[in-house]
Each structure stands twice: as C-alpha cells, then as structure tokens.
Structure 1
Amino acid sequence: MLKKILLLLFAFVCGYIAISLLPRANLDNLPYIVSDLIMNPVRFFIGMLAFIMTTSVLSTFVKSAYEQTLYWIMKKQQLTASVAIDYSSIFCYLLLMRKSILIAIFLLIFSLVMGVLSIERSKEVLEERGY
C-alpha cells in the first residue's frame, strides 16, 4: 500500500514537471510550440519523458481500479484500502488541471487508453494460460 502511495506521488510530481516544462498548448499558438521544440529540445525531451512516465504510472491505477471493482462486483473479493488509493488518482488529475487543463486532459486520455489496453492484454494472457 505504501508502494501505491509513493507511485501516486511520483506520478503527480512527474505530471507537474511535464506541465511545467511543456509549452502551453493552444490551437492558436502551434508555431510557438514548434519553435519551442526547436529552440529548447532538452526541455521538451524532459517534459515528454515526464509525460510518458506519468501516463504509464497512472494507467496502472486505472487497470487496478477496474480489476478490483470488477472482482468486488463479482463477489470474489472485498474492497480494500488499495481501491481507495486507486480511485484517489482522480484527485491527481484534478490537481494537475489547476496548472494546465489541456495537458492534464491529454494525461487522462492517454492513461485511460493505456490502462484499458493493458486490461485486455492481461485477459488474453490469462486465457492462454487456461485460467
């Protein structure tokens, strides 16, 4: 459980770094974003690296929340504090939205997609193994 709390804190810090380093994204200032990429490639690279790490960590929370809720609905497992930590990742998105709404929405979309894709992949692996 402490590991999940530390992962959530890590995801928030990486998301904050990504939002701080990436340029403010609007459809009006697309040339500014491209010029910022050319002029500051290291800053952009670090921002994108933090964005990818945030997305991958938060996708594990999406996957875990889905699976544990499904087990609870099927009456195979009781809800634990781990589920509360998984659902508290929503507050991480809300806190990041205070800094930049558009980048936080991109984080939410990409982590949801990655989480759902990893759920489907884990189902395929379980079916292959005969579980």
Structure 2
Amino acid sequence: MLFHLLCIVVGFLCGYLMIHWMPPVTPFHFDYFITELIFNPLRSFLAMICFLIGFLANAAVIRTIMDGIILWLRRKQVRWGEWLISCCGASGSFYWLFQWEAKLTALFFIFAFIYGMISLDFHRSRDYKRNL
C-alpha cells in the first residue's frame, strides 16, 4: 500500500512540474511552442523527464485499479484498501492537474492509461491468492 501512495505522490509531483516547466499551450502557436522548447533546453528536458516518470508512476496506479476490477469481476479476493487508495489518489491527482492545464493533463492521462492497460498481467492475477 505504501508503494501505491508513493506512486500517487510521485505521479502528481511529476505532473505538476511537467505542467509548470512546459511552454504555455493555451493559445497554441506552434512557432512559439517550438522556440520555447529549443531556447530553454534544460526546462524542456526536465519537463520530458517528469512526463516520463510521472506517467509510469500513474500507470502503476491505473494497473492496480484495473487488476482490482478484474479480480472483483472474477469473484476473487481483492485488497480493498489498496484498491480504494489507488482509486481516490489517482482521481484526486488527475482532478487537480486538470484544474491547472487540461490539455497537457489529458495527454498525461492518456499515456498513463494506455501503458497501464498494456502492462496488465492476466496470468499473474490468476495466481493472486498465492501472493497474499
């Protein structure tokens, strides 16, 4: 459970830093966006690193949520506390990130969701009871 809390905090902080360090996209001008990325290479590099780390951390949380749903549908034992913390933490994190910058957060969420769904291991979920 502590791992999932850490993933939620890391995902939120990396998302916030990524939004803060990226050039503004709200009236999106491609020339201005590319110029800012080129002339501020450190900020651009740090924003990309935060994007990568953040979407991987959020993907782990989304994978836990989807694992819990699949196990519940198969009528197997689910760690409800872990699942509830993951659901509440991920929804709260993305809610606040959407309040700051909707377009970048949508991109951040889409990457995390797709990678979280790809990384689901259905064979492991069959052996879930042995891991308890």
Q: After TM superposition, is the score higher than 0.5?
A: yes
Shift of 1:24: 1.6
Is there any run of 5+ residues in structure 1 with no aligned partner, and where? none
Pairwise CA RMSD = 1.7
Moved over 6 A (4+): none
Give me the TM-score of the superposition, normalised by structure 1. Answer: 0.87
The size of the alignment, in residue pairs, is: 124
Percentage identity across aligned positions?
22
Shift of 1:79: 4.6
Name the residue aligned to 2:70. 70
Matched to 1:104, the amino acid is T
Name the residue aligned to 2:130. none
The within-5 A match list for 1:49-68 is 49-68=49-68
Instruction: Work out the CA distance in 2 between the residues paired with 1:98 and 1:104.
Output: 9
Shift of 1:4: 1.4
Shift of 1:78: 3.5
Name the residue aligned to 1:82. 82
Is there any run of 5+ residues in structure 2 with no aligned partner, and where? 128-132
> Aligned pair 1:15/2:15, yes or no?
yes
Name the residue aligned to 1:30. 30
Give me the TM-score of the superposition, normalised by structure 2. Answer: 0.86
